[in-house]
Amino acid sequence: MKIPGTEDADLFYASFTNDGTIWFTANLQERGLGGEDIWFSQFENGQYIDPINAGENVNSPRGEFNGAISRDGSFLIYTTTGRTPVNSGDLWIAFRNAGGAFEPAKNMGNLVNTESLEYCPSFSPDGNILFYTSRRPLLGTAINKLADLHKIHNSCGNGQSDIYWMRFNPENYRY
């Protein structure tokens, strides 16, 4: 399926709501707020319609990417480098109000975010577990020989991205 108005753009990190709406990251140049933004396109009459920018309560003049929308479309978790506070890229959550517009996004805090990049959120099928990737370094192994370097390179916690998970209730982030 094609999404109108995206023919010359790279689209990535798609997620879907129960009604078939696709949410994705793209740099749609003059249509966006700056850099990569989170967009969505509704599925109507057997085709996707022109994409809609998730708006300034989600997107910023810098970069937003890797958004995961809840199955019911009530909230979105994504990575941004364009909001304060931010480390090298944090996970933020934005809830939709009764009218369908996003409320201002909130940083998910230090239970999820570190000074390293956190990205690629996704949910278990029941929505009770949040998965995400982090580049947080956990190893403190001294490097005395080449074998030490190989061991670190091939280990979890080496700062080159690992997958984390946590039990998740979005209501805990409505602060």
pLDDT of residue 84: 76
pLDDT of residue 120: 96
Is pLDDT at 81 greater than 80 in this prediction?
yes
For 8-61, the pLDDT digits (tens) are 888 999 999 999 999 999 998 788 888 899 999 999 999 999 999 999 999 998
Catalogue the E-assigned strands of the chain.
11-16, 22-26, 37-41, 43-44, 47-48, 52-53, 64-69, 75-80, 90-95, 106-107, 118-123, 129-134, 162-167
pLDDT of residue 137: 74
pLDDT tier at 148 (50, 70, 90 boundaries)? low
Mean pLDDT of the chain: 89
Mean pLDDT across the stretch 133-151? 72
- Higher confidence at residue 169 or residue 145? 169
The structure tokens listed for 75 are 């909230």
The structure tokens listed for 170 are 């979005």
Spatial separation of the C-alpha atoms in residues 159 and 29, rounded to whole Å: 32
Is pLDDT at 131 greater than 70 in this prediction?
yes
Mean pLDDT across the stretch 105-114? 93
Is pLDDT at 90 greater than 90 in this prediction?
yes
Alpha-carbon dihedral 95, 68, 6, 63, rounded to 10 degrees: 80
pLDDT tier at 159 (50, 70, 90 boundaries)? low
